[in-house]
C-alpha cells in the first residue's frame, strides 16, 4: 500500500516549532535571543583583544585631583582684590593722619590755653600787687597827712586804750564808770545808737534814752565817736555836722566833760585822741584810719 509504504517524517521538536512559528530558522542563537535579549546584546558587544582576557585589562588610575607632576591641583585663591586692599590701606592711612592731626590740634589748644591762663594769672597778680602797693602807698600818705593835720590841730597821739576791755551788757538800771574821758569801750547798754548828729550830750543815766552806754555799744560795732566840747550851736559844731553828719557809722554829739584845753575828742573801740582845735582834715584822717579797724563786731549794724 502506498500510504503504508511512505515514510513519515519525524515529528518536529519543541524548539523547531517555536522557531518555525516565529519565521526564524532554528538555531542556538535564535532561540537564546528570543528568550534573553540582553544576553544577545552582551554577546554582540566587542570583546577584549585577542590574547587578552578580562583579567589582563589594566585598572583605570584613581582620580585624585593631581596634576601632571603629581601635585595637587589648586583652585584659584579666594580673597579681596588688590584694588580693595589698596583702598582699605588708604582709608586706614587717612584715619591715622586725621588722628595725628587731631592730637596736634589738641596739644596746640592746650598750649594756647596754658599760655592764656598764665597771662591772665600774671595779669591778676600784677593788678592785685599793684592794688596792694597802691594801698600801702596811700595808707602811708594818709598816715603822714593825718600826722601833719594832728600836729597842726594840737592833738595828742592816738592812745591804745584796749586793755582787755569788757564787752558785757549792762543790766537794766546798772551804772558804770569808764577809765577814759570820753569813753572808748567797756560795758555797755544792750541797744546801740545809730549814726548821725545828736545835738544833746549823752546822759549817764542808764534808764535815759540816748545814753552814753548806748554810744559805747555803737563803738563795739565799728563806729567813730566825735565828741565836741562846746554847744551844738557853736559854728565849729555846725561845721562838723556839715562835713560828717551823713557819714556811715559816725556819731557826732556834744561832750562838755573833755579835759581842759581840749575842744574835740575822737574815739573808736580801744583808741582815743583829743585835740585843741577842730580840723576837718584831721577828723577825716582819723575816721579813714580807724573806722571798723579795731571793733570786735565790725559787721554789726
CA-based nearest residue to 274, from 262, 288, 257: 262
Angle at 50 between CA 49 and CA 55, to 5 degrees: 70
* Residues lower than pLDDT 70 in the chain: 1-80
Q: Give the pLDDT score at 22.
A: 44
Q: Give the pLDDT score at 21.
A: 44
**Residues 6 or more apart whose Cβ sits within 8 Å of residue 30:** 19, 22, 24
Q: Give the pLDDT score at 279.
A: 97
List, in sequence order, every residue forming a beta bridge with 267; answer none if it has no partner: 225, 272
Q: How far is CA 107 from the centre of its chain?
A: 19
Q: Give the pLDDT score at 62.
A: 57
Q: Give the pLDDT score at 151.
A: 96
Provide the grid cell at 70: 603629581
Q: Give the pLDDT score at 164.
A: 84
Q: Give the pLDDT score at 41.
A: 46
Amino acid at each position: 500500500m502506498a500510504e503504508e509504504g511512505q515514510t513519515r517524517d519525524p515529528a518536529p521538536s519543541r524548539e523547531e516549532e517555536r522557531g518555525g512559528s516565529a519565521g526564524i530558522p532554528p538555531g542556538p542563537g535564535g532561540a537564546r535571543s528570543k528568550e534573553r535579549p540582553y544576553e544577545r546584546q552582551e554577546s554582540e558587544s566587542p570583546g577584549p583583544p585577542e590574547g587578552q582576557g578580562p583579567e589582563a585589562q589594566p585598572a583605570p588610575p584613581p582620580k585624585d585631583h593631581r596634576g601632571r607632576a603629581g601635585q595637587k591641583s589648586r583652585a584659584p585663591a579666594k580673597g579681596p582684590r588688590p584694588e580693595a586692599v589698596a583702598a582699605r590701606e588708604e582709608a586706614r592711612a587717612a584715619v591715622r593722619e586725621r588722628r595725628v592731626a587731631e592730637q596736634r590740634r589738641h596739644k596746640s589748644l592746650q598750649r594756647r590755653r596754658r599760655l592764656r591762663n598764665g597771662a591772665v594769672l600774671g595779669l591778676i597778680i600784677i593788678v592785685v600787687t599793684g592794688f596792694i602797693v597802691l594801698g600801702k602807698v596811700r595808707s602811708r600818705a594818709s598816715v603822714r597827712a593825718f600826722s601833719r593835720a594832728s600836729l597842726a590841730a594840737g592833738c595828742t597821739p592816738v592812745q591804745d586804750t584796749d586793755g582787755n576791755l569788757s564787752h558785757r551788757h549792762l543790766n537794766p538800771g546798772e551804772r558804770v564808770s569808764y577809765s577814759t574821758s570820753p569813753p572808748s569801750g567797756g560795758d555797755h547798754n544792750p541797744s546801740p545808737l545809730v549814726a548821725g548828729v545828736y545835738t544833746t550830750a549823752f546822759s549817764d543815766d542808764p534808764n535815759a534814752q540816748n545814753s552814753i552806754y548806748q554810744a559805747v555799744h555803737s563803738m563795739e560795732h565799728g563806729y567813730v565817736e566825735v565828741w565836741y566840747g562846746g554847744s551844738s550851736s557853736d559854728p565849729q559844731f555846725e561845721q562838723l555836722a556839715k562835713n560828717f553828719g551823713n557819714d556811715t557809722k559816725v556819731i557826732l554829739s556834744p561832750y562838755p566833760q573833755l579835759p581842759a584845753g581840749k575842744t574835740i575828742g575822737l574815739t573808736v573801740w580801744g583808741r582815743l585822741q583829743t585835740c585843741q582845735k577842730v580840723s576837718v582834715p584831721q577828723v577825716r584822717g582819723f575816721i579813714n584810719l580807724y573806722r571798723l579797724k579795731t571793733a570786735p563786731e565790725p559787721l554789726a549794724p
